[in-house]
Structure 1
Amino acid sequence: MQPTERDLRERVLELTRLTESLQQQVKQPASQAPGDPAGGQHFISAFENAAISMAVLDLDARRLRVNRAFCTLFGYSREELLAPGARDVTHPDDVAEALVQRKRALASEIDTYQREKRYLHKSGHIVWGHLTCSLVRDAGGQPLHFISQLQDITGRKSAEQVLIKASTSNADLLRTIQRVLKLPAEAAAGDGKAG
């Protein structure tokens, strides 16, 4: 029997309420810390105002919560990043390794992992990040969600590429000088034995 349009609308409404409830649970701390009259507001404020990009991800790596720095780093609004079916910002060449690490964490092989990883900005350019990702478990050891912290290292990676290019250019220049002057490699390198 096919569901009626009314059945579908009721199901969508039910799923919408469930989604809103889950989002509220993610926004609120699991338990209020003793002596925290703000009911976890300190945690929420620290998360939102952190200078480092942060995200809470479900066990399938869907974003449940992101802070302002995360939105700014990738050029997306919070709504775009949290929308159902939101685009993964991980560079396609780095997806497989991320999946391996998540599986290791879920298998209790590791609790946290760090790595340098490429991402894609909304405008299409590559953003390099140093990722620290931790699996959060409940008191019984069951996985709840991942917390990711991401430091933008795009500037450092660009500088590394400039140095590599300069080093390669210097080596090429040295080989050219050796050929032109017909010097042995040690003499051109300045080991002090020539001349």
Structure 2
Amino acid sequence: FWVRLRHYTYRKPFWYELKEVIRTIVIFAVFDLALIAFTKWQFSRYVWVFCWTFAIILVPFFRALTKHLLNKLGIWKKKTIILGSRQNARGAYSALQSEEMMGFDVIAFFDTDASDAEINMLPVIKDTEIIWDLNRTGDVHYILAYEYTELEKTHFWLRELSKHHCRSVTVVPSFRGLPLYN
């Protein structure tokens, strides 16, 4: 699950990753049980159940412990800038703060039309040159969290970020005000 499920290259929420890890362990356990049955080994079912239950508990525990340790050391943290300053951007910030294990370290908001100087004690950047300077200094993750009424800004910034070779971009769509039924 390190390569195919991209657990160390693509940052996933804890519960989603846990589901994938447990599913993978269960698949290996069933494969192991089939191997034991077809080879007719004399192997205790109690030992088999104990070993695989132990694996289902300890593998996710140590993965979470490792990520927590890497987070505390700052190795797993990734600088993040949220483009937008309205309700959708604030919601994206709240979601990232509630999921610490993803490792996104929000350092600022960006919006040229923002009226606030800071949001949630983070600065609101209004100068585009600061964005490109930050991109040159290191790997920065950009989150586009404009409102649905600001669709042209979303398209503009997607083009600009791709022109400047920003590979780590997430778009958070705003569904407020859009009818989801009918």
Normalising by structure 2, report the TM-score. 0.25
Give the strand-richer structure, 1 or 2.
1
**Which is greater in Rg?**
1
Give the helix-richer structure, 1 or 2.
2
Normalising by structure 1, report the TM-score. 0.24
